[in-house]
């Protein structure tokens, strides 16, 4: 019997880290291909529709990018709270509130002209996200209420609030009483260039750079990281848990709200007919993107790109290959679980001794 020993790794080089991700990703894809072969599909077709078409066909690339932007911005915000050891899953609700605030501004100040209208809309989105994030932030900072519960539950409150608005006061009189709001005025719609929201991508990339600097090179970033490593030690060193909780929630809420504003102003233009029809549940997808990035701001780019590709690839599997929803769920499950599971290799060194 060979003896297998596991040794804890304390430092992992970036090279090994990246290599592990690539290998585990390929492993996940192979496992999924096995599933597809068992299902009776042609795996060349699958690989093409899943990984090549989403970035090579221009029509497909547009779809990939449309998910890339909100996932990137929202996961960047979540990353900040996770760096502080605060496990917010409330980006979904903050995103929804951002879109509600934008809609409110757009309906209340319908006569504003571009570019003021756009700036107002984006600020309103940020404000909505921040306000929704401050509820768990204050509860956490002042009363030490568990943020996992509060953020999760507030997501459903945000859905219900949307429902109230689209079934109630904001229901469009022209919609035959269906639950829809009026579409936004032309002045509140952010233009795209050849179907791609250049503004959205520019905002996302500059935010990634800014957050990277804040986290790594400022005293605020230091406090956030220190609190995340060891709250007790950080407290002893004079770092205020209150400040960390409020700050991280404000930042992540601002980013999620901004993503909500972009969703409404570049993609959907109106609320309804389902409470998640603006958020598209991307607030939850962003949690996965944040953890896949290993809480490294620059790695948000590949992580959210991967998830955007998987969303688009999933649609390809259903629409282009005519496969059922179950296959798509299997694909997401297998590929993401393999990616997370191989984390093990980064924490332990496997030593096999032949005796």
Partner 1 sequence: MSARNQTPLIAVLVVLIIVAGVGGYLAGSSAAPTKTVTTTVTQSATVTMTKTVTTTVTVTPQPKKLKAAWVYVGPIGDYGWSHAHDVARRYVEQLFRDWLVTGYVESVEEPKVYDVIKKLIDEGYEVIFTTSFGFMDGTLKAAKEYPNVIFFHCSGYKRWDNMGTYFADLYQLYYLNGLMAGALTKSGKVGYVAAHPIPEVIRHINAFALGVKEVNPSAKVYVVWIHAWYDPPKARAAAESLIAQGVDVLAFTEDSPTVVEVAQEYTSRGKPVYAFAHYSPMLKYGPDAVVSGQLVRWEAIYADILAKIYSGAYNTTNLRNVDYWWLLSEGAVDLGADFGVPINPKFIPVLKNITVTERITGEKMSVYDVVMLRLNQMKDPRPAFDPFCAVSEPILTQDGKVLVRPGQCLTHDDLWNMMVFVDNVVGSIPAG
DSSP element (H, E) containing 349: strand 348-353
Site of tokens 């520019």: 202
Which 3 state secondary structure label does DSSP give 112? Answer: coil
> Residue 348 to residues 3, 292, 354: CA-CA distances in angstroms?
15, 18, 19
Q: Token pair for residue 56? A: 């090579």
CA distance 82 to 86: 5
Listed residue (270, 276, 279, 307) closest to 292, CA to CA: 307
Options 5-13, 116-124, 239-247, 253-261: segment touching partner 1 (CB under 8 A): 5-13
**Cβ distance to partner 1 smaller for residue 216 or 349:** 349
Q: Phi/psi class of residue 177: alpha, beta or left (left: φ > 0; alpha: ψ in -120 to 50)? A: left
Options 87-95, 118-126, 160-168, 202-210: segment touching partner 1 (CB under 8 A): 160-168
DSSP string spanning 122-152?
HHHHHHHHHHHHHHHHHHHHHH---HHHHHH
Options 74-82, 116-124, 139-147, 314-322: segment touching partner 1 (CB under 8 A): 314-322
Can residue 194 be called a binding residue for partner 1 (CB under 8 A)? Answer: no
DSSP element (H, E) containing 3: strand 3-8
Binding mask 119-158 for partner 1 (x = CB under 8 A): ----------------------------------------
Options 31-39, 127-135, 150-158, 231-239: segment touching partner 1 (CB under 8 A): 31-39
CA distance 98 to 86: 21
What is the sign of the dihedral through the CA atoms of 217, 228, 256 and 191? positive
**Cβ distance to partner 1 smaller for residue 212 or 342:** 342
Can residue 176 be called a binding residue for partner 1 (CB under 8 A)? Answer: yes
Can residue 320 be called a binding residue for partner 1 (CB under 8 A)? Answer: yes
- The one-character DSSP state at 115 is T
**Cβ distance to partner 1 smaller for residue 66 or 140:** 66
**Cβ distance to partner 1 smaller for residue 163 or 296:** 163
Binding mask 281-300 for partner 1 (x = CB under 8 A): x-------------------
Smallest separation, CB 178 to partner 1 (Å): 6
Can residue 182 be called a binding residue for partner 1 (CB under 8 A)? Answer: no
Interface with partner 1 (CB under 8 A), residue from 17, 20, 25, 35 = 35
DSSP string spanning 251-314?
HHHHHHHHHHHHIIIIII-S--SSTTTTTTTHHHHHHHHHHHTTT-GGGHHHHHHHHHHHHHHH
Options 128-136, 226-234, 288-296, 311-319: segment touching partner 1 (CB under 8 A): 311-319
Site of tokens 């001794």: 353
Interface with partner 1 (CB under 8 A), residue from 16, 26, 37, 198 = 37
Options 36-44, 77-85, 146-154, 299-307: segment touching partner 1 (CB under 8 A): 36-44
Smallest separation, CB 176 to partner 1 (Å): 5
Can residue 36 be called a binding residue for partner 1 (CB under 8 A)? Answer: yes
CA distance 263 to 98: 9
Which 3 state secondary structure label does DSSP give 351? Answer: strand
CA distance 340 to 146: 25
Binding mask 238-277 for partner 1 (x = CB under 8 A): -----------------------------xxxx-xxx-xx
Which 3 state secondary structure label does DSSP give 160? Answer: helix
Residues near partner 1, by CB under 8 A = 3-7, 31-32, 34-41, 57, 59-60, 63, 66, 163-164, 167-169, 171, 176-179, 267-270, 272-274, 276-278, 280-281, 312, 315-316, 318-320, 322-327, 330, 333-334, 337-338, 341, 344, 348, 350
């Amino acid at each position: 019997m060979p003896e297998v020993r596991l040794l804890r790794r304390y430092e992992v080089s970036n090279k090994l880290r990246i290599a592990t991700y690539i290998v585990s990703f390929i492993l996940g894809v192979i496992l999924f291909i096995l599933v597809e072969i068992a299902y009776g599909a042609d795996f060349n077709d699958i690989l093409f529709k899943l990984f090549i078409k989403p970035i090579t066909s221009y029509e497909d690339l547009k779809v990939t990018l449309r998910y890339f932007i909100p996932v990137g911005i929202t996961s960047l915000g979540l990353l900040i709270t996770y760096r502080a050891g605060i496990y917010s899953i409330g980006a979904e609700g903050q995103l929804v509130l951002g879109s509600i605030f934008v809609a409110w501004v757009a309906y209340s100040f319908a006569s504003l002209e571009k570019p003021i209208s756009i700036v107002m809309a984006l600020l309103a989105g940020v404000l909505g996200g921040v306000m929704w994030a401050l509820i768990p932030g204050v509860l956490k900072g002042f009363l030490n209420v568990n943020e996992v519960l509060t953020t999760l539950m507030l997501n459903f409150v945000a859905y219900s609030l949307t429902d109230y608005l689209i079934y109630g006061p904001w229901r469009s009189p022209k919609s035959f009483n269906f639950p829809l709001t009026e579409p936004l005025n032309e002045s509140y719609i952010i233009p795209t260039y050849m179907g791609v929201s250049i503004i959205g991508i520019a905002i996302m990339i500059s935010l990634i750079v800014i957050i990277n600097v804040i986290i790594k090179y400022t005293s605020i970033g230091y406090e956030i990281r220190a609190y995340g490593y060891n709250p007790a030690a950080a407290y002893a060193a004079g770092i205020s848990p209150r400040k960390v909780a409020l700050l991280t929630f404000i930042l992540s809420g601002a980013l999620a709200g901004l993503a909500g504003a972009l969703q409404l102003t570049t993609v959907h233009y109106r609320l309804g007919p389902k409470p998640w029809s603006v958020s598209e549940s991307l607030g939850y997808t962003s949690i996965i993107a944040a953890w896949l990035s290993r809480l490294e701001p620059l790695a948000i780019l590949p992580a959210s790109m991967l998830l955007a590709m998987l969303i688009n690839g999933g649609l390809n599997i259903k629409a282009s290959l005519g496969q059922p929803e179950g296959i798509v769920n299997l694909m997401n499950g297998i590929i993401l679980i393999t990616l997370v599971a191989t984390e093990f290799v980064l924490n332990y060194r496997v030593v096999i001794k032949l005796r």
